[in-house]
């Protein structure tokens, strides 16, 4: 059993494809397939179900991949800790961010960190609030920025508020509400809408306020892609509730108006309580917390 075999297996399980795993590892697909098959032969059990378009671990594979993921993380952490004794901060940090958290200008934050620690590689994971919180709980991501209140974080996670989104209504030119100075939330009742998909933090925040006020819009289409949402609004598929910062990229045919009452959900940096992070991840976490306190 070789370390590279374990790394290949974990990569395939995460990607759901030998082709994608090979691309992420920068090795030939045949090498990945051969080494994973060799590992399965050594163990005498199938670890991956190859009968479906999307490759998934078998029951044995789920158990094995879970343990192997933790072993590989420990090996990486050990290497980083030894090198840190020589004054070198190296390694990889896996950082999750929901699409709505893009208002924080994450690329700029990463550039500042990289100028400080150029030998640290930051791997970005995107997903909904639910998906990213699960990644942090299971150590698939070291930390994540999600749209959530601190009180709504799952047990075992802690965090700090780094921002608050200012949500506005976006609509197509000519819509009946275009000339209102602000949009009363009650006016969205039965209104055709487009919005973030379920599981997204901002979707949950908006749905909670609407439910509390007994407002039931008709969400016709869901997407977590900003260009898609703006395109849907532009072509009259419905109104959208979006962070004000995103409307900088809106086409001229799309207007925005503030909500009454306002909806300002928190954006939280979260990590697993009590986890011993390797030096690179620990330094990156300290950097992000310091950025939030600026």
- Helices and strands counted in the chain (H then E): 9, 13
| Eight-class DSSP state of 142 | S
Cα diameter, the chain: 70
pLDDT value of position 257? 95
3.40.710.10, 3.40.190.290, 3.40.50.300, 3.20.20.450: which CATH number matches 166-264?
Answer: 3.40.190.290
The vertex-131 CA angle with 129 and 133, nearest 5°, equals: 65
pLDDT value of position 87? 62
pLDDT value of position 101? 55
Contact 109, 116 (CB under 8 A): no
Instruction: Please report, in angstroms and rounded to a whole number, the separation of the first and last CA atoms in the chain.
Output: 48
What are the percentages of helix, strand and coil residues in the chain, rounded to 5? Answer: 45, 25, 30
CATH number for the region 1-86 comes to 1.10.10.10
Contacts of 11 (CB under 8 A, 6+ apart): 21, 24, 25, 32
pLDDT value of position 106? 84
Residue 48: closest CA among 22, 72, 15, 12:
12
Domain boundaries, the chain: 1-86, 89-163+267-294, 166-264
Contacts of 184 (CB under 8 A, 6+ apart): 260
Q: Report the alpha-carbon distance of residue 234 to residue 85 in Å, rounded.
A: 56
pLDDT value of position 88? 61
* 89-163+267-294 and 166-264: identical CATH topology: yes
pLDDT, averaged in runs of 10, over the chain (294 residues): 90 89 89 93 93 88 91 80 66 81 74 87 87 90 92 94 90 95 94 90 86 91 90 95 82 92 91 89 90 75
Please tell me the pTM assigned to this model.
Answer: 0.67
Count of Cβ atoms closer than 10 Å to residue 179 Cβ: 8
Overall CATH class of domain 89-163+267-294: alpha beta
Beta strands in the chain (DSSP E): 48-49, 56-57, 91-97, 120-126, 143-147, 157-164, 167-172, 183-184, 192-195, 218-222, 240-243, 254-260, 266-272
């Amino acid at each position: 059993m070789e370390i590279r075999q374990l790394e290949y297996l974990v990569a395939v399980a995460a990607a759901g494809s030998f082709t994608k795993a090979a691309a992420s590892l920068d090795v030939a697909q045949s090498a990945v397939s051969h080494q994973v098959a060799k590992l399965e032969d050594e163990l005498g059990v199938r670890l991956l179900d190859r009968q479906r378009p999307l490759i998934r671990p078998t029951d044995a594979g789920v158990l094995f991949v879970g343990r192997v993921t933790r072993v590989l993380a420990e090996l990486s952490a050990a290497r980083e800790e030894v090198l840190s004794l020589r004054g070198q901060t190296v390694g990889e940090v896996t950082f999750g961010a929901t699409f709505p958290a893009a208002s924080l200008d994450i690329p700029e934050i990463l550039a500042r960190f990289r100028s400080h620690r150029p030998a640290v590689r930051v791997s970005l994971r995107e997903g909904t609030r639910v998906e990213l919180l699960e990644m942090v709980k299971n150590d698939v991501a070291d930390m994540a920025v999600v749209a959530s209140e601190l009180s709504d974080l799952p047990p075992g996670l802690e965090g700090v508020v780094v921002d608050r989104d200012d949500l506005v209504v976006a609509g197509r030119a000519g819509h009946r509400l275009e000339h209102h100075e602000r949009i009363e939330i009650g006016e969205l009742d039965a209104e055709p809408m487009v919005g973030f998909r379920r599981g997204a933090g901002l979707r949950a925040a908006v749905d909670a306020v609407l439910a509390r006020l007994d407002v039931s819009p008709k969400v016709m289409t869901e997407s977590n892609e900003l260009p898609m949402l703006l395109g849907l609004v532009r072509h009259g598929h419905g109104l959208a509730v979006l962070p004000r910062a995103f409307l900088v990229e809106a086409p001229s045919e799309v207007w925005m108006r503030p909500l009454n009452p306002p909806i300002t959900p928190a954006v939280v940096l979260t990590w697993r309580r009590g986890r011993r992070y390797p030096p690179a991840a620990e330094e990156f976490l300290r950097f992000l917390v310091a950025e939030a306190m600026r």
